[in-house]
């Protein structure tokens, strides 16, 4: 008999397994239908021995000291600031759009003040910023929107930016200075030995049993457990009762090249050309030294593993109907990017999982004989 069955060994499931096992002294069965732990953050050495991310580039960044210090129990970190270039009009230009992007693209020599005025002269007035198109055209105008955002977003999501919530393109800021970092968070790092090693340490506890290549459906009636944490797609849990929630998928093409480097930065985006959205070269992220280099091309598609919830009003309405069912379930917790249909980064999922753990502790008394009362009180 397990105290908890946890479905999904990504960040959401693994953080909760670790907390429940180590702080409440309860027995956890953690399952995943894939052959590995780590969810979409899983990394591995490819045949050439280069550390790659199986499901596309994962860069850790957060402003939360609490989340950073929690994960630091399981890994050392390599400082890494992410920089991305976009191939536009045949040039490699900084994205987020900044002073250098505009000066190089148009052969100008504006300063920050000049660029602010340049944007203001081109920005389109909007009564209300609702869509992913609105956000960009209301800041930098239509020309830069079409060069940097329109094509990429259509490729990535399969719909026009005007059909997507503003939160999608709002992830990428616009700057009038020369800061070319992709993120500005106070903590920006890569786990020194990789994500998978971090997950292994997190789950290395006698109270945690892991079963891989195991779908929830296969065992839901076979295993004895008291409570359930589910981190898979919420619509699947309820057998698509209200219809399918759209999740966008990707095909990854992993290639090893017989040369030391391919591109000047870890990620190059292709908003105007190519069927793929971006190319990632891992050695920039990991700092690994190797005579060869491994890269990944991302091809967005509709069918396949669910990677991205699609932020649009109609999808949120459908999600809300599923969420209502979820809230009515007794002894079941829904956590993570797929189960709560949120376009969350890794740190946000860790934060959500830690918050869920606090809720669990408030709602469910730990078993008397095994409770580590002082540890729980300290949480």
Q: How far is the CB of 201 from ligand FAD (least distance, A)?
A: 17
Q: How far is the CB of 22 from ligand FAD (least distance, A)?
A: 18
Q: How far is the CB of 199 from ligand FAD (least distance, A)?
A: 10
> Which of 132, 156, 231, 293 touches ligand FAD (CB under 6 A)?
231
Q: How far is the CB of 118 from ligand FAD (least distance, A)?
A: 30
115 binds, among ligand UDP, ligand FAD, none (CB under 5 to 8 A by kind): none
Binding residues for ligand UDP, rule: CB under 6 A, are 86, 95, 148-149, 152-153, 156, 168-169, 171-172, 269, 271
Residue 19 interacting with ligand FAD (CB under 6 A):
no
Residue 194 interacting with ligand FAD (CB under 6 A):
no
3-state SS of the chain is CEEEEEECCCHHHHHHHHHHHHHHCCCEEEECCCCCCCHHHCEEECCCCCEEECCCCCCEEECCHHHHHHHCCCCCEEECCCEEEEEECCEEEEECCCHHHHHHHHCCCCCHHHHHHHHHHHCCCCCCCCEHHHHHHHHHCHHHHHHHHHHHHHHHHCCCHHHCECCCHHHCCCCCCCCCECCCCCEEEEECCCHHHHHHHHHCCCCEEEECCCCHHHHCCCCCEEEEEECCCHHHHCCCCCCCCCEEEEEEEEEEECCCCCCCCCEEECCCCCCCCEEEEHHHHHCCCCCCEEEEEEEEECCCCCCEECCCHHHHHHHHHHHHHHHHCCCEEECCCCCCCCCCCHHHHHHHHHHHHHHHHHHCCCCCCCCCHHHHHHC
168 binds, among ligand FAD, ligand UDP, none (CB under 5 to 8 A by kind): ligand UDP
Stretch that binds ligand FAD, among 55-63, 109-117, 167-175, 268-276 (CB under 6 A): 55-63
Counting residues that bind ligand FAD (by CB under 6 A) gives: 33
Taking the least distance from each CB to ligand FAD, the nearer of 207 and 345 is 345
31 binds, among ligand UDP, ligand FAD, none (CB under 5 to 8 A by kind): ligand FAD
């Amino acid at each position: 008999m397990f105290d908890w069955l946890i479905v999904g060994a990504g960040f959401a499931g693994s953080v909760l397994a670790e907390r429940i096992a180590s702080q409440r002294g309860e027995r956890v069965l953690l399952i995943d239908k894939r052959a590995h732990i780590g969810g979409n953050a899983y990394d591995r050495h490819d045949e050439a021995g280069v550390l790659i991310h199986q499901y596309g580039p994962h860069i850790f960044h957060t402003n939360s000291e609490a989340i950073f210090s929690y994960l630091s129990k399981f890994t050392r970190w390599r400082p890494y600031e992410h920089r991305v270039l976009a191939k536009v009009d045949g040039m490699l230009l900084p994205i987020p759009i900044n002073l250098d992007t505009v000066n190089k693209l148009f052969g100008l020599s504006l300063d920050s003040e000049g660029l602010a005025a340049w944007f203001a002269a081109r920005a389109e007035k909007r009564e209300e910023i609702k869509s992913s198109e609105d956000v960009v055209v209301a800041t930098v105008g239509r020309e830069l929107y079409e060069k940097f955002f329109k094509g990429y977003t259509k490729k990535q999501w399969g719909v026009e930016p005007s059909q997507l919530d503003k939160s999608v393109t709002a992830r990428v800021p616009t700057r009038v200075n020369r800061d070319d970092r992709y993120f500005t968070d106070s903590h920006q790092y890569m786990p020194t030995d990789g994500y998978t090693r971090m997950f292994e340490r997190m789950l290395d506890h006698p109270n945690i049993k892991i079963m891989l290549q195991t779908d929830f459906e296969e065992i839901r009636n076979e295993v004895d457990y008291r409570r359930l944490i589910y981190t898979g797609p919420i619509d699947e849990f309820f057998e698509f009762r209200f219809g399918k929630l759209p999740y966008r998928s990707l095909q990854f093409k992993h290639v090893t090249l017989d040369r030391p480097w391919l591109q000047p930065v870890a990620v190059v985006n292709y908003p105007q050309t190519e069927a793929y959205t971006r190319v990632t070269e891992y050695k920039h992220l990991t700092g690994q030294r190797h005579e060869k280099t491994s890269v990944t091309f991302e091809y967005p598609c509709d069918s396949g593993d669910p990677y991205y919830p699609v932020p649009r009003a109609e999808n949120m309405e459908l999600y809300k109907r599923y969420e209502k069912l979820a809230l009515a379930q007794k002894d079941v917790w829904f956590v993570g990017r797929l189960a709560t249909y949120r376009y969350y980064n890794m740190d946000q999922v860790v934060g959500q999982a830690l918050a869920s753990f606090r809720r669990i502790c408030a709602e469910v008394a730990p078993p008397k004989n095994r409770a580590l009362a002082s540890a729980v009180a300290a949480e």
